Structure 1
C-alpha cells in the first residue's frame, strides 16, 4: 500500500514553497484589481449573460434592440483544430493548483450582476512535447496580462519557456486555448497563470449563488456544484476525472462570513483591499483529487460539531435551522456510518474532517465533495415536528451514500464518465448497509427491492434502455455525461452489485473491494479492475462459481435489459428470454451475448430454502424443480437476482392459493415480488392480466408494507391508463373494498389516529392505508383529512402528524377550492423548514381547479415563487394530477425554449420532466403530439433528457396497444370483483 502519510508530506512541502511564493502576488493582484479592470470584466460578463438571458426569454418578452457583442474573441471550432475535440489531449497533466477567489455577495451597482473574481496558477507536467495548451474554461472572462494574452507561462524550475503567441476561448468545447511559439519539453514542469472574472449566477452549477430570507433580509451564499463538468465555470482547469491534482484554495470574503473548502482551514486573517477590510481564509492543500469533487463556500451559516477518533465532524446550515436542532440527527449518525465504512473498506477515513452543509438551493440531492459534502436542506436537516419517518430515512440513506463515496469514487476514482454506473451504483447499494448500521431496527436493506430493483426494472424493460457500461468514445460532450446520471446507473448498478455480493458472499465481496481500494488509492481505475480483485478474492475462498467474475458480470454490464426466467414445475425446464414490456418493440441495440445472461437462482420449495442453481444457457433441465401434488416453487428468494420469474399456470395457481390461505408462508419480499412480476409479465403479454389482478385479492388480509407498496406502485399504472375512462369507477370500488380493513387496522392500532405505529414500515403502511382509502373514495378517510386541514386553517395549530401531512394536505386541497389552496400557498411561502415546504409544494398540485394549476405552472418559471431547484419536479407533480396533465404538457411545449435554457442542458433531473409530463400518454393523438414535439424542438435539443424523449415515445406506443388489448378485460374483472 502506498503510504498515505508520506504522499501527503511530499505534496505539502512542495505546495508550501510554491504557495508562499505567491501570497504577495495573489493579494496585490487579484483582490487589488483596479476598478477599471473590474468594470471591463463585468461588462463582458454582463453582455454575454444578457445575450444568453434574451435567448431564454419567451418571444413576447425579448427586447427589440440587439444585445451588446462580447469583446472576447471566440473561435468557432473546425474539424482540423485540436480544440474541436471534447477530450483533453494526453500531452499535459496538472500537478497542483493555487486558486484564489473572491465572491461578491452583493450585486454590482452598474450591471446588477453578482460576480466573482479570481486568479489561478496551475503547475503542469509535460508528458509529450507540445506547442499547445488546452485548459477547460466555461463562461469565464480573462484579464489580459502584460504579454497581451489571457495567460502567462513560466517554467517551474527556471529557464526559458516558449511565448504564448495566441490565446482565445472556444465556447463549444469549453476551452481556453494557448498557442505557443515553441514546444514544451517532456518531463518539464510549467506554471500557467490566469486572472479572471465570472458571474456568481443562480444557475446551480459551478460557482453559483443561493439565496434565502432570514429576519426579513435576503441572504446570499456563494457555493459550488462541480459534477460533472462545471469546475471549469469556477476557474480554468483540466476538468476530467483522471486529471487528479492537489488544490490550494484561498477565499476572500466579508468579515462577517465564514469560508469552507475541501481542506482544513490553515489560517484566516483580515486583509485590506481598496480601503475595505475583508477576511482571507487559506486552506491546507487537498489530497490528490479530481476537479469534480472540489467545493468552496462562503456564507454566514452556523454549525454544530463533534469529534470521532480525531476526525472533526461538522454540520452547517442556516443559523435558525442550527439553533432549532435540525442538524442534530445528521451529526449523531455521521460518526457511526463513517466507522461502519472504515470497517467495510478496511481503510481509515482518509481526511481530517467531514463537513456537511445544507443549502437552500441545490440541484441534486447531495454531492460527495471530498471533505465538504453539500446537500439540499431536505436531505440533511431533520425536525421531529415536521419531518416524517420517510424524511428521516432519506436523510440517513443519503448521508450514507455520500460517505460511501469518500472512499469509492473519491479515494479511488473511475477514469472516465462511461463508468459512472459503478461509482453511483456502488454507493446506491452500500447506502442501505450504512443506513442499516445507523438505524438497525428499520430493516432498511429490504427496501432496496422496492426503491431500486423494481424501480429500474420498469426502465430497463424498454427497447430504448442502454447497457450499464458505455464505450469511452461514446461519452464526450457534457450533456452526454449528464445523461448518464439516470436510474440505470444508480439503481441497476446497485441491483447488480447487490446480486454480485450475494453470490460471492459478502465476505468475499468485501475482501476484493478492500484490495481494489488499496491498490488504486489516490488514483483512477476502470470497472474491470474491480472484477480482477473480486476474482482474486474468490480464488482464495470457498466460494464456487460456474464462470469467472468477468464472464458472469459482463452479461449484466455490457448488454442492456434483463431476463425473465420461466420455470416449468411439471418438466423441470428452466428458460430465459430478454424481458421487454412491449414484446413487439424493436431492439436495435446489439448485444455481445445475444441477450442471454448467466443467472444465479436462489429458490424455495413450499417455503423451504433449496440449493442455488445457475442458468448459463437459454434453456436447461433441473429435475429438482419438478413438483407434485400441492408442492410449489418460488424462485429469486428475497429478489437478490436482477431478473423476473414466470411459472407454469399450475404453479401460479398454487402460489395464489398460498397467498389466499396463509400468505406468511411466502417471505414478505417475495410477496411483493409476486405482485410486481405478475403485473409486468401481464403487460408484456406473457401471462393473462386477470392473473396479475388476482394477486391483489389476498391484500384484504395483508398488513405488511412491502406487498402493499408493490401493489400500489403497479396499480398506479392502471390509474394512469384508466382515470379518464369508465374503468375508473369500478376500479375505485374494488380498491376501496380491499383497503378498508387496512384502514381500520391502523385506526385501531393508533387509538383512532392519536398514536404513531411503532414499526418503521408500519408507519409507511399507515400512510398507504390513508392515501388509498381517501383516493378510492372512503368517506370516513376523506372527512378525516378535511377535518384535520380545516382545524389547521381555523386554529392556526397544525394537528396533522408529520408522517401523514403529504397525503392529508393533498386530499384536503383536492376536496377543497381556492380558499384551501391559498391557505396552503401562504403556508408554503412562509415555511422556514424545507421539508415542510416540500410537502406543501407537492400538495398544491393536487387541486382540481384548472385555473389554480395553470397559475401554479406559471409560478415555476419565477424563482421568487418556486426555487429553480424545484421547478421541474413541481411541473411533474402537476402532470401527475389527471386534471393537470394536459395543462402541464401544453405548458412545457409552449415554453420549451425557455424551460430548456433555464433548467435543461445539464440538469440531472431534466429527463424526469419529460418522462413525468408524458407518463399518462395512451392515445394516438398524444403519440402524434409527442412525435411532433420531438421534431419541433430538434434544433433546440433536449440535453440530458434526449433519451427520455425516445423512451416516452416507446412507452406511449406500448400503452396504446395495452389499453386496446386489455381495457375490456380489466373492466370486466373489476366489475365482477367490486360486486362481490
Structure 2
C-alpha cells in the first residue's frame, strides 16, 4: 500500500512538521500566517464535505477538539489514496520525507545505549487519557498489512519537549500534536530507540504542565504470523482457506498494533473503529454502536464503530476480524468457525454460572455490558482475559460430546473460570507494573478452582489443586535459579520470562495459604474493599496487604501486632520455600525451618526465614494452630497426649512448605497407612505425605527406604489425589531408571501396586461414574500399558484396529474418549508406519480441537526413529498441518518417549536458529522446548553439552534464558541423584515386598 499524498490531518502545520533529518527552509512570518489561515479554511471545507457523505456521524461535541472529532467521524481519512494491490515494504520513521525545523530544544529523554539492567519504563511526564483508533486490516487481499491512525488525548504532568511512547514494527506516516485550542505544536523529529521500543516525538515547542494535548499518528504495519500483536491466522473449511486477523497484546505487544503507552500503569479509555470487508465481522472489547457503509477507495468495505471502553491497560485491548459465527445467551456470546460452533454449547452454559458466582464472591457486579468468548485456530496462549472479549485456543473453549474427554471438559471450565476471574483481578484492578504479575495470575489461578467447583463440586477441584498447582510449584521453586513471586523486570523479554509456574501456581498457593490463616470473613471482605478502593486504577501488592491488615485487625486473626505485609513479604519477595522439620522429644515438639533446595550441597546453609502458619493434627483428629514467626525454631511443650501414636503437620497441605519428621513419626505414619487404615488420614494429607517424602529423599533430607515405604500402602488406595501424587513422583524414577539394566525391578514394583486397581477399573466405563474414578481409570490404564501389562496392550491395539477397520473412521470412533490417548499411543508404539499414517490422517481431518491435541500427543509414541525425525521436522515447517502454537506440544510429547529423548535434544541444538526464526525470538514456546528437551538429563556428559550449547548461543535464548539456567540446575540435581541414590533405590526394589 502506498500513500502518495500527505493526509490533511497529518499536515496540520505543513510548514513546520518534520520527519527525519534536518533540512532548513526559510518562510516569512506573513506567508506562514496566510498558509495557516488557508489551511483551516480547507479543513473546514473538508469537514463539510465529509459530513455530506454520511448522516451517521455524531454531532460535534464542543468539549472535544476538532482533531479528535474528525478522527472519530471521518472514516475515509485513513484510507486516503490506498492502493491495496501493492506490497510495499514499510519504512522506518528515519526515512520519511523531510521538511524543516528550527534549532533543537533540550530533550528530556536522550537516546543512549541500553545496558542489560537499564530501566525501560516510560517517563511519567505525559499520561494518556483516551485513544481514538481507526484500523483497516487487509486480510482477503493477501498482502496482510494494516493501516491505522489514532488520536491520543494526553494530560501533561510535567513540562516536556517531547512525547515518548511505544512502537514496534510500525511505519509512522504522519504525526501531529495539538493543544486544547486546536493549535498545532510543531513536530521537530520522530525517532526510535529500538532497544527500549520507544517512539520519541521531539517538538519545537513545550507541552505545558496541567494542560491537555492531542497526539495524532498515522501508521501502517504487517499482520504478522508470529501469534503476537496484531496477527493473521487461517483455517480451512470446505477446502477453502479462510483468513482472520486477531490480537494478543499481553504483555507488551499492543505497541505492535498501534503506537501507545504500553505499560499496565498507563490506563486509558479506548474507542475503536475497524474497517473490514462486508462478508466479515469485527468485534472488540465493547459493543458495536454503528456501522457506516462507506470507506474511501474500498467499495466492499464498511466501518464498525465501538463504544468507548472503561479505563484499562493497553494489554487488555482486543479486536478480531473474521467470518466466525456465534451463539448467544444473555450478555454472553461464543464465537467460532461455523463448522465448530456446535461445540460451543458447554462453554455458553458454563460461563454465565461462573460469572454469577464471581459477582457474589467479589461483591461487585461485572462492569461491562457484554462478554464475547472466541475460539481462535492459532493462539499462542491458552487464553487471554481481554476485557469484554476473551480469546481462547480452540481446545480450551470447544467441547464435543462423545469425542472430547472429561479432562477436556474440566479444563474448559477451569480456563473459563480463570479468564473470568481476571475481569476483576487484573482488569478492574490492574498491577502497576509486571513485577506484580502474580497478583493477576496467582489470584486467577486460585479463584478458578473455586469457580469450577461452583459449577460441579463432584470434580473435587479443591483437592485437585494440590496435585495440579501446589506440588508442581514446589518442584520448580526448589531450584536456586527460581525467582521471587514479585520479581524485578527490566526489559520486555524478562516480562515474558516470568509467565511461569512461580507466578501462577506458587502465587495461587500462597493466596490459598493466606485465605486459610486469615479466614473466609477477612479474606472476602478484604478483597471486596481492595477492589472497590482501587476500581479502574492500578495497585501494587502492598495496597492489598494494607487492606487485608485493616480487616485482620477488625477480626483479630493475626498474632500480636503483626501485619499481612510482614508475613506475606517473606513469601513474595524471597526465592523458594521452607522445609519444616518436626521432632518429638520427651513430649515436646521441636519445629525448625530451613530453605528447601533440590540441589543442596553438603554443609551449605541458607539463612532465609519465613513466617509459617503451622497446623498440627494428632491421631485423635485434634488440630492445633501456631506460628513460626520468622525465626529458626519453636518448641511446643507437652504437645500431645501420652498415648498419641503419630502426628501430622500442614493439615490438607494448606501451607506452602514441605514437612519432614523424625524417623519414629515417619514409621508410625507408614504403619498407620499399612496396618491401621489409611482412610483415617485425609486423602489430601496422604497425597502430601507421598509428595513430601519422595522429594525429601530426592534432595537428601530423608532416606529412600522411608520414602518408598510410604508408597507401599498404595496397593489399597482408591482415591485419585494420592494416586496422582504418587504417579507424578514415580514418573521421575521411571525417567531416571528406564535406560538402565535395572528397570525390570522398578517396573514389577509398579505393576504390583496397580494390578488389582487396573482389574477393578477395566477399559469399560459405567454410566454416571464419579469423575475421579474416570480420572483414576485414565491414569492407571495409561501406566498399565506403559509398563507393558500384556492384557492392557492387547486391548488397546484391538480397539485401535477396530477403529481402523471401520467403514468411515472419521465418523465412526467407538473408543472411550477418556482412554483415547492411551489407546492411540499404545497402538502407534506397537505398530509401524501404517498405524502412524492412519493417526496422522485422522489428525488432519478431525474437526474437534481436543481430539487433535490427543492425536498430536499420540503420534510421538512411535518407536521408529525416522518417523520421529520426520515428525520433528514437520513441527517447525510452515503449512505441514501442525500449527505454530502446537510445536511445544510435539516436543513435550516426544520427550516422554524414551526412544526419542536424545533425538529431540539433538534436533533442538542443530535447528536452534531455525526454531527461533519460526516461532519468533520472544515466543514463550521457546522456554517450553528447552525445558522439556532437557528435563531428563542425568549424566555429567549431558550437563557439559547443555552448558556448551548455552554458551554458544547465550545471546539468543532471550525469554528462555532463565529456563535453560533452571534446566542446567535440574540436570545437575538428576546427576547427583544417580550418583547418590540410584544404588539405594535399586537395593530397595530388590527387597521390596507388597502385601
TM > 0.5: yes
Q: Give the one of 202, 215, 234 matched to 2:257.
A: 234
- Deviation of the 1:868 alpha carbon: 0.5
Q: Give the SS at the match of 1:273.
A: coil
- Deviation of the 1:569 alpha carbon: 2.3
Q: Do 2:479 and 2:598's aligned partners in 1 also have CA atoms closer than 8 Å? A: yes
Q: Give the one of 741, 744, 764 matched to 2:775.
A: 764
Whole-Å separation in 2 of the counterparts to 1:801 and 1:80: 56
Say yes or no: does 1:331 pair with 2:348.
Answer: yes
The aligned residue for residue 913 of structure 1 is 929
Alignment of 1:865-904 (within 5 A): 865=880, 866-904=882-920
- Deviation of the 1:775 alpha carbon: 1.1
The aligned residue for residue 61 of structure 1 is none
- Deviation of the 1:30 alpha carbon: 0.9
Whole-Å separation in 2 of the counterparts to 1:648 and 1:195: 70
Q: Give the SS at the match of 2:75.
A: helix
Structure 1's 757 and 944: CA in aligned 2 closer, same or farther, altered over 3 A?
farther
Whole-Å separation in 2 of the counterparts to 1:587 and 1:947: 23
Q: Give the one of 591, 596, 619 matched to 1:574.
A: 591
The aligned residue for residue 363 of structure 1 is 380
Q: Do 2:753 and 2:994's aligned partners in 1 also have CA atoms closer than 8 Å? A: no
Q: Give the SS at the match of 1:395.
A: helix
Say yes or no: does 1:786 pair with 2:797.
Answer: yes
The aligned residue for residue 207 of structure 1 is 230
Alignment of 1:25-40 (within 5 A): 26-35=74-83, 39=86
Q: Do 2:72 and 2:132's aligned partners in 1 also have CA atoms closer than 8 Å? A: no
Whole-Å separation in 2 of the counterparts to 1:618 and 1:440: 40
Q: Give the SS at the match of 2:275.
A: strand
- Deviation of the 1:732 alpha carbon: 0.8
Q: Give the one of 833, 841, 846 matched to 2:856.
A: 841
Say yes or no: does 1:611 pair with 2:634.
Answer: no
The aligned residue for residue 54 of structure 2 is none
Q: Give the one of 335, 343, 363 matched to 1:316.
A: 335
Alignment of 1:225-304 (within 5 A): 225-274=248-297, 276-304=299-327
Q: Do 1:269 and 1:279's aligned partners in 2 also have CA atoms closer than 8 Å? A: yes
- Deviation of the 1:760 alpha carbon: 1.2
Say yes or no: does 1:131 pair with 2:161.
Answer: yes
- Deviation of the 1:518 alpha carbon: 0.6
Whole-Å separation in 2 of the counterparts to 1:300 and 1:863: 23
Structure 1's 903 and 498: CA in aligned 2 closer, same or farther, altered over 3 A?
same
Whole-Å separation in 1 of the counterparts to 2:63 and 2:795: 65
- Deviation of the 1:907 alpha carbon: 2.2
Q: Give the one of 111, 132, 138 matched to 1:104.
A: 138
Alignment of 1:805-820 (within 5 A): 805-820=820-835
Whole-Å separation in 2 of the counterparts to 1:762 and 1:97: 52
Say yes or no: does 1:523 pair with 2:537.
Answer: yes
Whole-Å separation in 2 of the counterparts to 1:870 and 1:710: 27
Say yes or no: does 1:508 pair with 2:522.
Answer: yes
Say yes or no: does 1:155 pair with 2:179.
Answer: yes
1:436-457 C-alpha deviation (Å, 9 max, x unpaired): 1111221111111111110010
How many residues are matched? 915
Structure 1's 465 and 624: CA in aligned 2 closer, same or farther, altered over 3 A?
farther
Q: Give the SS at the match of 2:339.
A: helix
Structure 1's 260 and 25: CA in aligned 2 closer, same or farther, altered over 3 A?
closer
Q: Do 1:463 and 1:585's aligned partners in 2 also have CA atoms closer than 8 Å? A: no
- Deviation of the 1:194 alpha carbon: 1.5
Structure 1's 922 and 225: CA in aligned 2 closer, same or farther, altered over 3 A?
same
- Deviation of the 1:881 alpha carbon: 1.3
Structure 1's 607 and 815: CA in aligned 2 closer, same or farther, altered over 3 A?
farther
1:210-257 C-alpha deviation (Å, 9 max, x unpaired): 110111100111110000000000011110111111111001001111
Q: Give the one of 736, 758, 764 matched to 1:743.
A: 758
The aligned residue for residue 142 of structure 1 is 172
In the superposition, the TM-score normalised over structure 1's length comes to: 0.90
Gaps of 5+ in 2: 1-59, 99-108
Whole-Å separation in 1 of the counterparts to 2:406 and 2:749: 29
Q: Give the SS at the match of 2:262.
A: coil
1:195-214 C-alpha deviation (Å, 9 max, x unpaired): 11111111100110111011
The aligned residue for residue 8 of structure 2 is none
1:39-63 C-alpha deviation (Å, 9 max, x unpaired): 4xx4223x89xxxxxxxxxxxxxxx
Whole-Å separation in 2 of the counterparts to 1:19 and 1:411: 30
- Deviation of the 1:16 alpha carbon: 7.5
- Deviation of the 1:604 alpha carbon: 1.2
Q: Do 2:485 and 2:503's aligned partners in 1 also have CA atoms closer than 8 Å? A: yes
Structure 1's 905 and 80: CA in aligned 2 closer, same or farther, altered over 3 A?
closer
Structure 1's 15 and 217: CA in aligned 2 closer, same or farther, altered over 3 A?
farther
Question: In angstroms, what is the RMSD of aligned CA positions?
Answer: 2.3
Whole-Å separation in 2 of the counterparts to 1:84 and 1:129: 24
The aligned residue for residue 66 of structure 1 is none
Structure 1's 85 and 566: CA in aligned 2 closer, same or farther, altered over 3 A?
closer
Whole-Å separation in 2 of the counterparts to 1:586 and 1:218: 63
- Deviation of the 1:922 alpha carbon: 0.6
1:351-396 C-alpha deviation (Å, 9 max, x unpaired): 0001111100000010000000000011111111221111111111
Q: Give the one of 177, 183, 203 matched to 2:206.
A: 183
Gaps of 5+ in 1: 1-11, 49-68, 144-149
Whole-Å separation in 2 of the counterparts to 1:857 and 1:476: 34
Structure 1's 532 and 945: CA in aligned 2 closer, same or farther, altered over 3 A?
same
Alignment of 1:477-876 (within 5 A): 477-546=491-560, 547-570=562-585, 571-584=588-601, 594-606=607-619, 608-616=621-629, 617-626=631-640, 628=642, 631-661=645-675, 662-747=677-762, 753-755=764-766, 758-795=769-806, 796=809, 797-865=812-880, 866-876=882-892
Q: Give the one of 35, 43, 49 matched to 2:88.
A: 43
Q: Give the SS at the match of 1:43.
A: coil
Q: Do 2:720 and 2:772's aligned partners in 1 also have CA atoms closer than 8 Å? A: yes
- Deviation of the 1:303 alpha carbon: 0.7
- Deviation of the 1:152 alpha carbon: 1.1
Structure 1's 680 and 314: CA in aligned 2 closer, same or farther, altered over 3 A?
same
The aligned residue for residue 9 of structure 1 is none
Structure number, greater radius of gyration: 2
The aligned residue for residue 105 of structure 2 is none
The aligned residue for residue 164 of structure 1 is 187
Q: Give the one of 931, 949, 954 matched to 1:938.
A: 954
- Deviation of the 1:903 alpha carbon: 2.1
- Deviation of the 1:623 alpha carbon: 2.4
Instruction: Say which is worse superposed, 827-836 or 598-607, in terms of deviation.
Output: 598-607
